[in-house]
Structure 1
Amino acid sequence: MEIKELVHKIHSCECELVLAITGGGTEAIGELLRYGGGSATLLEAIVPYSQSALDAFIGRKPEKYASARTARAMAMTAFQKAIMLQSPEQKRFEHLLGIGATCTLARNGERKERQHELHVAVQSLQNTTSYSILFLEKRDREHEEAIVSRSIINMIAISCHQDVVITDGTGLSSQERPQIKQVQAIEGISNMLLHEANSYNTLPSFVRISGQDRNTHHSHKIMFSGSFDPCHKNHLKMARIASRKYGLPVHFEISLLNVDKPPIDYISLEDRISSIKARYEPDFMGDIFVTNAPLFSEKAIIFPDSTFIVGADTMKRLFDPKYYRPGDNLYSLLEHFRTKGIDFLVFSRKGIHIEIPAEIEHIITIVSEDEYSDDGISSTQIRKLQQNK
């Protein structure tokens, strides 16, 4: 299908989108606007081209700038912007899209072994879609730019339910096969995306994903809140110690929303939940929960009368004013925890010294180094090892 016809088809559908591009492929923005009617589809186009601009856009420094993971973070941030930019009289969230594209393309003076690759992600209320391609043929920058631009347009068209083959018009060789993955929202999760991470106008909520449904048998609960990106042996060791200490199962909780980063996309969420399930041990593990509660003050509302397992790094952030609700201070937060019956079981982290202010000692229990000694393994290290395989 010719690009002009395809763009007209995109503009004829009901989709509205925010598009974020870095590394190359900005011709896609021009193509969407070249033939008229672009205002029906494009809410905003963003080009966070420098590393610092991209860091600011997604709220963190990515482990790798040209990666499927970074494209998904860009798409989720773009989707959140689309929610904010949609006209108040519409509010038809099911037609909104966030598009993220990041790539490494040919440039002068590059090293011979440098990989050229493209990653496009699409975030909607219903699903997360990822498209990745490693360029195998040698091409000049202009040719690669054209491939990237057309690939972005094709992904938009497919996401707008237009009949198009994903490699149509891209000029990819038969050996260059895109890796495509799509994950649908778990039932009850999608509405959490409609609330920004820093919005406190909505009551915290949760979805139980799986487990033994054992939390209803005990008034007191042991909650392990974390990103689990991925879950690893030290997480299990901490959970086992906590379960033995209190004689209760440990429930795992992942917040879909973050205070200073975009929400977790559905592909990443599935990966994190799968990493817990893969290591699931029913003798000390309970349920898995997904919440829209990035702050412990919010978790306390969902899970009252609970002991929360935290590492020393989380302990340092727990009473940082940056992570308070609007209007809270240390004493109102402590009173909130008191009325909700909340305390914390703190595990050491290698290289982090734990200092507990006197004001909060009454809700803190520190696990001794005789019971648990951290070996320094982290989810970040595991992700880097997986990338290098």
Structure 2
Amino acid sequence: MRIALFSGNYNCVRDGANRALNRLVDHLLARGAAVRVYSPTIADPAFAPAGDLVSVPSLPIPGRSEFRVALGLPASVRMDVERFAPNIVHVSAPDLLGTGAQKLARRLGVPVVASLHTRFETYFDYYGLGALRHWGERRLRRFYRASDRVLAPNADSAESLAVMGVPDEDIAIWGRGVDPAAFSPALRDLHWRRGLGYRDDEIVPIFFGRLVVEKGIATFADTIHALHERGYPLRPLIVGAGPAEARFRALLPDAVFAGHLDGTALGRAVASADILINPSMTEAFGNVNLEAMASGLAVVSADAGSARALIASGKSGLLTPPVATRLADAVAQLVERPDLRFAVAAAAHAEARGYRWSEILDKVVASYADLLGTRRRTSAAA
């Protein structure tokens, strides 16, 4: 296999999509594939890239300068792709780079695999651009329907692709895994908690991930305020960094902000909390939910399709509408009933153990192989 992978921001930002793509490239290289990655780059990336990375001309997105947008597929990059001679083109974002790669693949007679990582259509409402949502949805339909195979993170996303008009036989599932060494109840550290001012018997709700408005930071803050009004003096732990950090701090001045953490430090922070509150409706998979489950936390999540794919509500977590009062109801229930909190956390941990990266990534390899086999059989028949 020779895979040309096109990414919107391969290692500019440490988010779930970029981490998954880098992990996929590492896995492909270990399986003997040749991989070349094409993406915008920055001088100070969030982490070292997996594989050979070719920089594509780009500009920072206004107001979100940590992200960059490619200006298309320039001739120099097209020539590099042709020299590499891929037999699979994998596109991961519906931007100008991704659509340019689709057109190049058609010219070269190479099948196109697209992977769905984010519910891009939901972003418009968070940035005052709701009038453009229908335009965005039309663009997504064209992008995914122009691919030979689309990798969806779960059944809910697969259903949304079918609604867009992608044939069922062209949809496959690429879920996500969790590293049990990085996220584990064994990393819980009461000494570390005490250093942040928490008592051993204090219930600690956590928000972790990138601090951006589309993750529902305002709803999270409203949930904490609703709990305070009911007499629950919870002090949330906020782990992460991002452009909305100042806004988040203003909304929750009494919260503990631990900043950006990675590796063992992140796993320790998550395991040292008690309840994850995840109000986000923009997740395609929900890595945060899975990582909290693996860490032995009880999860209270907005009832999005990505959350339903991971959590059996009432058993391995609690799902509610993305409304502060309803999220607060669920958190209060877990605070008042330690037996329920412990049972939910134990079931969540057991469920998370089934999400093994190697098995999940092998399904992508199998999907590539199936597509190549189909193309060869079609060519032979012709």
Which has the larger share of helix? Answer: 2
Q: TM above 0.5, one fold?
A: no
Bigger Rg, structure 1 or 2? 1
TM-score of the two chains, using structure 1 as the length reference:
0.26
TM-score of the two chains, using structure 2 as the length reference:
0.27
